[in-house]
Structure 1
Amino acid sequence: MGLGDVGRRAVLAGGAALSAAPAIAASGSGRKRRVAPAGFLWGTAISSYQSEGGNTNSDAWLMEHLQPSMFKEPSGDACDSYHRYAEDFAIAGGLGFNCHRFGVEWSRIEPAEGVFSNAALDHYARMLEACRARGLSPMITLNHFTTPLWFARRGGFEVADAPEIFARYCARVVERLGGLIDRVTTFNEANIRLLVDLMPGFSQALPGVKAAIAAAAQATNSPRFSRLAYADPKVASPIMQAAHRRAYEAIKTVRPELPVGITLTTQDVQAESEALVERYRGLLYGDWIEVANSHADFFGVQTYTRLRFDETGMLAPPPGAELTLSGYEFYPQALANTIRWAHAAIGKPIFVTESGVATHDDARRIAFIDAALDGLGACLDEGVPVHSYLYWSLLDNFEWTAGYGVPFGLVAVDRTSFKRTPRPSALHLGRRARANVI
């Protein structure tokens, strides 16, 4: 199914009108906008589970349907992107983007331990071909928080042989799909569990988390049941780090030329002293910086806000601060700060693989994008090598435990008909992408 007539007219008419605007102008901060480097990647990011729908063999699907549940609502059909991917790519390409980051779902590809689905791999091959046909460079994520149910039942990333199992899966994907992929990352936000530990109130929520995990363990008759985002970080972090290293090496054995990266959640850590900043950065990143330095060809920055700390822990947003629908502070200036930090700490090519805001007010989404890009442009002015801006997300999709009430998308999705409707912010970012202006 292609992009509907109304949607096509909106994209093309809006894109034409916006592309007629001056290509370079002063930014909101007064910095003169500049042409981005040749080859700069503009686009969006999305995950398989959050957009495909019907991932019934996943650990998350099970936990959505148990009581007690951490999920506001189940994912169901999500955006039905498993079937409507061609329409999604048509929208993204029509807007003027040249890159799309999306995932392959492990639970579809390896539905039982050691059993790989050629049909699922063929499906993702068709997706990659359709993506490329729309002029979009594919950046693929191999794991975006979810795992096959059988993997969670056996203990997930809290079991010693998990690195070998994960690397085997990654190698199989690249064997079949590697020729269609331009860049690949192993884990999405591999340090997510470390961020969860820093969040205010998580200790109070922990009994509910443990109850939900216990319900999943009982339902699967597995006392070892483990979900990536809630695994014990003291156990899971070193195992996941070994899994990334093993996967990196396995991918390079299959396709030495394929760039393999890693993404972390890179929120802007702020405190009254540099010593405090370094302390909390250490808690947020753990040993993942060393992993990125030794086993990554590029580094994905994924920044949404700032995190403020004092000696006692994370602080609430300042009084009167604008909050997003996700509950954190509207603070697009964070992106420039995390880019600078990543350049100093890691020294690998930097790709902004996620940046976005959940809001019902699309004018604020445009303001967020412009401010984030202004900061990225300042980094380029300083000589920091940044190679992409990928907005999260192309579509309003399933935002995990928050369900469907927190719209990040440049494109609205009707929950019943699945009709896609590009917002003004989509046309705005598309105009900047077509002009290649930061």
Structure 2
Amino acid sequence: MSGDGAGAIGRRALIQAAAGVAAAPALLANASAATQRKPAPKGFLWGAAISAHQSEGNNTNSDAWLAENIRPTLFKERSGDACDSYHRYDEDFALAETFGFNCYRLGIEWARIEPSEGHFSNAELDHYARVLTACRKRGLAPVVTLSHFTVPLWFARRGGFEASDAPQLFARYCRTVAERLGGLMHLVTTFNEANIGLLVALFPQSEAGAALQREAQAALVAATGAPKFSRLAFADPAVTTPIMQQAHRLAYEAIKAARPELPVGITLTTQDIQSVGAPSLVADYERRLYGDWVDVARSHADFFGVQCYTRLRFDEHGMVAPPQGAELTLSGYEFYPQALADTIRWAHRTIGKPIYVTESGVAVADDARRIAFIDRALDGVRKCLDEGISVHSYIYWSLLDNFEWTSGYAVPFGLAAVDRQSFRRTPRPSAFHFAAIARANLI
């Protein structure tokens, strides 16, 4: 990592980024004619997000690393070095600073901090202290996630969030992090998309897909000798959900005990639920997606993180495919940025806490469609603000093309592309466009 944080970004790319920001009036003028931007509320956070496992690389002590490397596997490829953000974090912050962002969402990796049960690594805690300090020095408020789908290998081997004492173990980790690092954080969330298991259960699965999942699970059990080996997204949500809810409650209390002034929130996957035909099935499927997490967010969160990518449609038989002719993204989702406003409204009327958009993004080959997605999503945020809803951020997923779990590196969400060999970060035109909006502070 170079001293000025620009080594793998490239001077030319930074000059282009600066030029793009300087061209803010032209970029804003080229936005949709329907767009009527206005100043964002005081303290509004503009930024991009990343997660630890997806960007750092070589997270060898996690459940995900093992799941990627066994055979058979659900993963199309291994995470490997990822974006090497474990070493190049300041280059990422430099890019975000150049874009005029004032916050950055990132992850703390539990598998590094507690590599074996009850042993906390001072070296890794020091590493993340350097990361958060560097983030702040770039003028970026750190928005930190403590568990972004991955857990330590030892935790997965003993049953993960299917084990009855998992809440106490998770809260101990969160308390340790809060005591050592909480003073460097701006906001913190416990889980990323805590209801991910409930979302996975809504998707139809083929017999071949179910068989591969069973074979991959059997391979994990055989590799570890742990019959209760549990990975969050593929465990039974009927078992994991109440345990994770208690884990969040205990973690919230532990963090507040260590850092009373630190805002602690929770994020859920909040896709726009729509019903096809009558009678409406929206309320039923919202219950299936969110369950009791609504009550947990009401009682044990200072703020709520909305993470929305598309809409999901249902009829009496289950999930319905996107309409014929609908534009699909490289993730297979329908291109539907207007979903964000609907989920913000849902969170406002259902949970009633300050709302932060902690993830909103799109994977596309044509970067012009990313620009269109950002513009339309922001149009929705502005309309929600006009309605009196308390929205405090727009954080795009993601800053970089990174490891997208079972899809590998084939789905580019990034404002910047990443060369898989040199790790050079190359900003896309959409980055300059979003930078102009953030610099102007216009929503």
TM-score (norm 1): 0.98
Residue 107 of structure 1 corresponds to 111
CA gap 1:347/1:273 in 2 versus in 1, 3 angstroms: farther
Is the counterpart of residue 340 in structure 1 residue 340 in structure 2? Answer: no
2:228 alignment partner, SS class: coil
Alignment of 1:110-149 (within 5 A): 110-149=114-153
Preserved CA contact (<8 Å) 1:26 1:33: no
Match for residue 185 of structure 2 among 181, 188, 197? 181
Is the counterpart of residue 245 in structure 1 residue 249 in structure 2? Answer: yes
Residue 302 of structure 2 corresponds to 297
Distance in 2, Cα, partners of 1:326 & 1:146: 21
How far residue 210 of structure 1 moved from its aligned partner, in angstroms, is 1.9
Match for residue 281 of structure 2 among 262, 271, 276? 276
Residue 77 of structure 2 corresponds to 73
- Identity over aligned pairs, percent: 69
Is the counterpart of residue 390 in structure 1 residue 395 in structure 2? Answer: yes
How far residue 30 of structure 1 moved from its aligned partner, in angstroms, is 2.4
How far residue 212 of structure 1 moved from its aligned partner, in angstroms, is 0.8
Amino acid of the structure 2 residue aligned with 1:180: L
Match for residue 414 of structure 1 among 415, 419, 429? 419
Match for residue 336 of structure 2 among 331, 335, 340? 331
Q: Deviations over 1:72-107 (max 9, x none)?
A: 000000000000000000000111100100001000
Is the counterpart of residue 224 in structure 1 residue 223 in structure 2? Answer: no
Amino acid of the structure 1 residue aligned with 2:214: K
Distance in 1, Cα, partners of 2:248 & 2:285: 23
Match for residue 22 of structure 2 among 12, 16, 38? 16
Match for residue 6 of structure 1 among 12, 21, 25? 12
Amino acid of the structure 2 residue aligned with 1:185: T
Preserved CA contact (<8 Å) 2:27 2:433: no
Alignment of 1:330-409 (within 5 A): 330-409=335-414
Aligned length: 436
Distance in 1, Cα, partners of 2:99 & 2:388: 29
1:21 alignment partner, SS class: helix
How far residue 360 of structure 1 moved from its aligned partner, in angstroms, is 1.1
Distance in 1, Cα, partners of 2:419 & 2:228: 38
TM-score (norm 2): 0.96
How far residue 6 of structure 1 moved from its aligned partner, in angstroms, is 1.4
How far residue 5 of structure 1 moved from its aligned partner, in angstroms, is 1.2
How far residue 322 of structure 1 moved from its aligned partner, in angstroms, is 0.2
Residue 49 of structure 1 corresponds to 53
CA gap 1:294/1:390 in 2 versus in 1, 3 angstroms: same
1:359 alignment partner, SS class: coil
Preserved CA contact (<8 Å) 2:313 2:319: yes
Q: Which moved more, 1:79-88 or 1:213-222?
A: 213-222
Match for residue 62 of structure 2 among 50, 58, 61? 58
Match for residue 166 of structure 2 among 159, 162, 174? 162
CA gap 1:89/1:212 in 2 versus in 1, 3 angstroms: same
How far residue 211 of structure 1 moved from its aligned partner, in angstroms, is 1.5
Preserved CA contact (<8 Å) 1:26 1:32: no
Amino acid of the structure 2 residue aligned with 1:340: R
Distance in 2, Cα, partners of 1:325 & 1:26: 25
Amino acid of the structure 2 residue aligned with 1:212: A
Residue 30 of structure 1 corresponds to 34
2:26 alignment partner, SS class: coil
Match for residue 211 of structure 1 among 197, 202, 215? 215
How far residue 31 of structure 1 moved from its aligned partner, in angstroms, is 4.9
Distance in 2, Cα, partners of 1:207 & 1:238: 27
Q: CA RMSD in A?
A: 1.3
1:299 alignment partner, SS class: strand
Q: Deviations over 1:243-298 (max 9, x none)?
A: 00000000011011100000000000000457410000001111110110110000
Runs of 5+ unmatched residues, structure 2:
none
Distance in 1, Cα, partners of 2:73 & 2:183: 40
